[in-house]
Structure 1
Amino acid sequence: MELLLDNQSLNNSEFYHVVQPIVNLVEKRIHGFEFLLRSKQIQNPEKLFGMAEKNHQLNELDKISVYKIFETVANSKGALDEYQLFINVYPSTMVDPDFLESLKELAAGSNIHPNSIVFEINEAEEILDIEFFKETVVKLKQMGFLISLDDIGKGQANMKNLIEIDPNVAKLDLYFSEDLAFSPKKQDFIYYFHQFLGHHAKIVLEGLEKEEDLQAAKQLGVSYGQGYYLGKPQPLEFYVNGLNDERTK
């Protein structure tokens, strides 16, 4: 089975999103949502994007995802106004001039505030020209959008991008949350990372799945978290209708 996107893909129901909450650990409330693209035809997200890459359609899939999210937000009748919305985008899509122009049109033609949109740089794709990419990031920030860097601590290039790109949000890789309560080394890393970056960007710890690790993160000064313990990927209605997990209240 091959994934072949056409001009009707934007309007059909083949693609949809689930969301996972990002929680303010201090105030014990949902701070925002990460939108995760899904396909009715291809259930596995990794396989979906793998097939899109094989067919040279990653950027097209990215654009469809972004457009659908803007449509969802516009149709939410203000239900998402208080949240930050995290959208995964590949670097090669972000530097596409057509993508930037379409964002201007989307922002101008809707009541969506750009500073509620956080473009999360997809680390599955290498940034080939960091200087050119930084110029694109500056343009997006000037338009009012925010930038997030994902999976920090996963690789050397990732740490370099953290310094060069200067994101608004820094998401620590789930490796650091696993058994955090019992790992002095991970605790030290998060503490010093928070000291290093805490004044420049919001820090989100991913992969929180246990109460003891959540409490350890809070004691280390981590203000935002994401993971199955705080909320699993669900249809947006699950959360905006007030059905979110009691642990996020």
Structure 2
Amino acid sequence: MPMGARILRRRENVLEGRPVNHGRVLVVDDDPKLSRIFAEVLHGAGFAVDTAADGRHALALLERLSFDTVITDLALPGMDGMEILRTVRERGLEVPVIFVTGTPQLSTAMQAVEFGAFRYLLKPIDPEQLVEVVERAVRLHKLAAIKRQAKEYLEKEQDSEHPGLSERFSRALAGLELAFQPIVRWPQKRLVAYEALLRTSEPSFPRPEKLVHAAETLGRVHELGRAIRARAALRMQKSPMRLFVNLHSEELLDDALYDPKAPLSLIAGRTVLEVTERAGLDRVPDVRARIDRLKRMGFSVAVDDLGAGYSGLSSFVQLDPQVAKLDIALVRNLHREPTKRKLVQTITSLCKELGITVLAEGIESREERDALEGLGCDLQQGFLFARPGRAFPAVHW
């Protein structure tokens, strides 16, 4: 049965009992009939809907109007759906983009994830699924906007009280602590490493990201990084295990990082530097030369959140990592979503060909653990095995 007829036949059932939503959706498709059907289904579900027949019209609408999500066909005349997504991200627009296609390809799916597509739907699309996915995208977009406004407000408050922020940051450094989370090899049930995670006894920084942001605001990232590296090295002196330590991209500019007598340099051969805030790599001159220098010292390099956004592939080129950590969004409920499994399988196979070890983090269920093992990803980390602890926590097998 043609997709249009399928949707029309089921449309009434989908819309029954749906609450009115206050979200605006842009539908981009060169098939006017299909575009109209999508619009009718979504409008009936409570969304305001605009349509565009091609990419240029869509981008013009995105410039003039505020949308909560975009649904676009991948195959469009002129500017295709992937180019729309790429342009949206280049312009700094954070609207969720949902792809629909009748001819799925792994390379396209990989690109979609890499550029931050919200979902990748295959035709024929169940109308219930369409409405459900759009509802979730709109909710998350609105939530992100609220969080962004709150963050901007807090940043203004902090920026207006730099003296107070500096004092609190200094107290946080004095009370700096590290928590450690095991990294294991499954199903061998073998502990292979610990990741050092930032903590502090200063109550005004309950989350690590707040402390990192304060360091960025105050220009004290190097100071924070030195303290973390020194404490991590001290804690690992009596342990033979490998150590993962987060490294802010700005720390690559700190001469102390390359000091062969620095505490962490003394255990470089079993230390993996996990580069965070990778968007800032573009501001680091000669980044590849700096990474190569660290490798010659004995350090290994990891990229985190592979698959989380546009910077992932460029980071591969810049960092040439030995380890790649899968984004938690790919891990969550992996066993229930075939598209995620296919993407993880492709990433794992590609990394194997390149000699890169894949580490999956954020594992919370046995089902996720077993699905990852089946896809060739046996290096794992998450609450299922152990929560982070000040002492080296035991692993729950």
Output the TM-score relative to the length of structure 2: 0.54
Does residue 207 of structure 1 match 2:367?
no
Alpha carbons of structure 1 residues 144 and 124: separation in structure 2 relative to 1, 3 Å: closer
Does residue 182 of structure 1 match 2:336?
yes
State the match for 2:327 in structure 1.
Answer: 173
Structure 1: gaps of 5 or more residues: none
Aligned mates of 2:323, 2:253 — CA distance in 1: 19
1:64-119, Cα deviation, whole Å (9 max, x unpaired)? 10011112223x2xxx21x2100101111123223212xx11269x8x43220111
Q: Answer 1 or 2: which has greater helix percent.
A: 2
State the match for 2:8 in structure 1.
Answer: none
1:71 to 229, 234, 241: 234
What's the RMSD between the two structures over aligned residues?
2.2
Aligned mates of 2:216, 2:243 — CA distance in 1: 25
Alpha carbons of structure 1 residues 84 and 159: separation in structure 2 relative to 1, 3 Å: same
**CA contact 2:249–2:278 (8 Å) conserved in 1:** no
Aligned residue runs from structure 1 range 1-249, under 5 A? 1-4=164-167, 12=174, 14-41=175-202, 42-74=205-237, 76=238, 80-81=239-240, 83-101=241-259, 104-106=260-262, 112-123=266-277, 125-129=279-283, 132-199=286-353, 200-237=355-392, 239=393, 244-247=394-397
User: Which of these two proteins has the greater Rg computed from alpha carbons?
Assistant: 2
Q: CA deviation at 1:21?
A: 1.1
Number of residue pairs the alignment of both structures matches? 230
**CA contact 2:365–2:384 (8 Å) conserved in 1:** yes
Structure 1 residue identity aligned to 2:395: D
Higher alpha-carbon deviation: 20-29 or 181-190: 20-29
Structure 2: gaps of 5 or more residues: 1-163
Secondary structure class of the residue paired with 1:135 = helix
Aligned mates of 1:93, 1:73 — CA distance in 2: 21
**CA contact 1:85–1:118 (8 Å) conserved in 2:** yes
Q: CA deviation at 1:123?
A: 2.7
Greater RCO structure (CA 8 Å; 6+ sep): 1
Aligned mates of 1:125, 1:185 — CA distance in 2: 27
Give the fraction of aligned pairs with identical amino acids, expressed as a percent: 24
